[in-house]
């Protein structure tokens, strides 16, 4: 990676989070910005918006990779909107553009992002999110953490470079 | 759906299955063909190839939605190769083109397909595959079955139309 | 290519063709079916529907690679609907799945398909469609023909295999 | 669009430009940065790299929307690499993320981007690039300009917002 590039961390989660999930997402965004990382997300509402709001409040850079074909659909805290026009296939671009992923709550869209990240050997840190087992055996690939600061520290440690 | 269209069922699973998973996939393919359904899959090897081989042996139609940009990359039992050139984003097209999905074993790619199907309210039938829990609660969306015939019967019953 | 696979030819063109373009598309579809080729297209109306109608009338196989996320959006003459959910990015899958492309009329969507085909060295046969020049020099990559039978003969001759 | 967002202009063109095209691209990049616009491109070499180099030299922001699945594949002047993993389908995201497009030289990949932009009513400004005619009639949708400063002025005037 170019030396001048900042680490990019993805924050993923649902568009209809609980109030606690939204609070966690905002704190994750704040902490990413404080530690100088760039935030990438799916660009819409809920966890995505809360994380962008947190990062923006602390002066961080926010990228939103949108499913639709207009930058206008991004939440107001996205500074760099990418309009892919490929629908949920953009979920893959969200995680592939990051060096680590923080998952907060989330439904099946978030699960698809977790799966795509693990398939690409991109570390996934989980806060109150999915747990997986395969053929009766627990899969421990999602790294469970207890709070936003721990999530960000873990993500930055695991991010390549 | 046009009255003349056959039901299309997706078979998903890994490219490096156990011998039992490959056997299950082949039997699922056979049974789909016997019951007059069209099979769609990711077009490559392993579970995908075994299922296509089974369907072909019974005179069924097989569609392979490929990640790469050449129809030549399809397994030899794919009759209709679709070269998407969009990589793993083709996983979404595999499940969206089906009225129901049968998952056999599989790794994170299969998990992403399960997630995309459930996100779209397309029924997922599971044979020795992933199990999910969210925030400590079991998610029972994957319909577990015991054998290929049961898998196909369930899929065809749940397929719309 | 597997010996058992039929040649697949893409027919591309606009969703609001002139009556002459629609007639040409229908005749192209008829002739493809008569010569035993499978037709692939974008699955919607206009030139796509006319070509599928022609092919169906002659007992041919028709594939529609759709931009949306439901097979239901295909025109009624599509036998095998593929729901990609990736919007206009499906234009690339339409041409990459074919061994040759026949373009009839069309607007900018058709132009994008012509460009993607030429970029992949897939032959493009043109009936009353776009002409290109680059930096003041004519680009003769689109093979111009005068009628549907000539278009189909040229496409099948140029299709690999 | 959020008031705080800068205008985003796409620069498109081939990966093997002539030396004059590379010079034009670099000057376009410089001028975009001087006028405070963000540059988006396909993130690879040739025209893309030259434009990013120019923008970086003047302190501008550069986004590279990559076809592959690793941010590492971006040219060294891309500050924000987006790894889409969808191959040439990323061409659509490049133009849809911009409010105007500047095309410099280019081959069929560039032509596909021009087509996708025009299909979405995103203005295309051309420097020594493709010219189009349809069914024997010239299509004047590409706005021809003579030099980089004129290209940037035109693009920023036409960019919405």
Residue A5: per-residue pLDDT:
86
Residue C7: partners with Cβ closer than 8 Å, 6 or more residues away: C36, C37, C38, C99, C156, C159, C161
What is the token pair recorded at C138?
A: 């004519």
Q: Which tens digits make up the pLDDT trace of A51-95?
A: 999 999 999 999 999 999 999 999 999 999 999 999 999 999 999
Residue B50: partners with Cβ closer than 8 Å, 6 or more residues away: B17, B22, B23, B25, B26, B29
Is pTM beyond 0.90? Reply is yes
Segment among C135-139, D55-59, D130-134 with least mean pLDDT: C135-139
Average pLDDT over residues B52-75: 97
Query: Are A89 and D86 a contacting pair, CB within 8 Å?
Result: yes
Q: Is the pLDDT of residue B2 over 60?
A: no
Report the residue count for chain A: 161
| Spatial CA neighbour of D158 closest among D77, D54, D37 | D37
Residue B70: partners with Cβ closer than 8 Å, 6 or more residues away: B83, C96
Q: Is the ipTM of this complex over 0.90?
A: yes
- Chain A neighbours among D 10-69 (CB < 8 Å)? 38, 40, 61, 63, 65, 69
Q: Is the pLDDT of residue A1 over 80?
A: no
| Spatial CA neighbour of D101 closest among D58, D142, D57, D63 | D142
Provide the angle, in degrees to the nearest 10, between the axes of the packed helices A19-34 and A47-57: 40
Q: Which tens digits make up the pLDDT trace of D103-122?
A: 999 999 999 999 999 999 99
Chain B: give the shortest CA distance to residue A114, in Å.
8
Residue B155: per-residue pLDDT:
98
Interface-testing mutation among D112, D129, D133, with chain C (most C C-beta atoms within 10 A): D112
- DSSP-derived 3-state class of residue D63: strand
Mean pLDDT of chain A: 95
Q: Which tens digits make up the pLDDT trace of C107-141?
A: 999 999 999 999 999 999 999 999 999 988 999 99
Residue D1: per-residue pLDDT:
43
- Give me the sign of the Cα torsion angle B21, B27, B29, B35: negative
Specify whether the backbone of D109 is left (phi greater than 0), alpha (psi in -120 to 50) or beta: alpha
Q: Which tens digits make up the pLDDT trace of B68-88?
A: 999 999 999 999 999 999 999
CB-based contact C86 B83, cutoff 8 Å: no
DSSP label at residue D41: E
For D2, the closest chain A residue by CA position comes to: A76
- Chain A neighbours among D 88-117 (CB < 8 Å)? 89, 92-93, 96-97, 99
pLDDT above 70 covers a percentage of chain D that reads 96
């Amino acid at each position: 990676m170019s030396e001048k590039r900042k680490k990019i961390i993805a924050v993923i989660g649902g568009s209809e989070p609980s109030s606690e999930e939204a609070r966690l997402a905002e704190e994750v965004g704040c902490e990413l910005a404080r530690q100088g990382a760039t935030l990438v997300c799916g660009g819409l509402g809920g966890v995505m918006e809360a994380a962008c709001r947190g990062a923006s409040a602390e002066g961080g850079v926010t990228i939103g990779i949108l499913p639709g074909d207009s930058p206008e659909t991004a939440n107001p805290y996205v500074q760099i909107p990418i309009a892919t026009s490929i629908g949920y296939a953009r979920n893959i671009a969200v995680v592939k553009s990051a060096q680590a992923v923080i998952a907060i709550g989330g439904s099946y869209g978030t699960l698809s992002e977790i799966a795509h990240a693990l398939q690409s050997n991109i570390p996934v840190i989980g806060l109150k999110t999915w747990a997986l087992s395969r053929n009766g055996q627990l899969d421990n690939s999602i790294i469970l953490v207890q709070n936003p600061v721990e999530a960000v520290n873990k993500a930055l440690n695991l991010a390549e470079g």
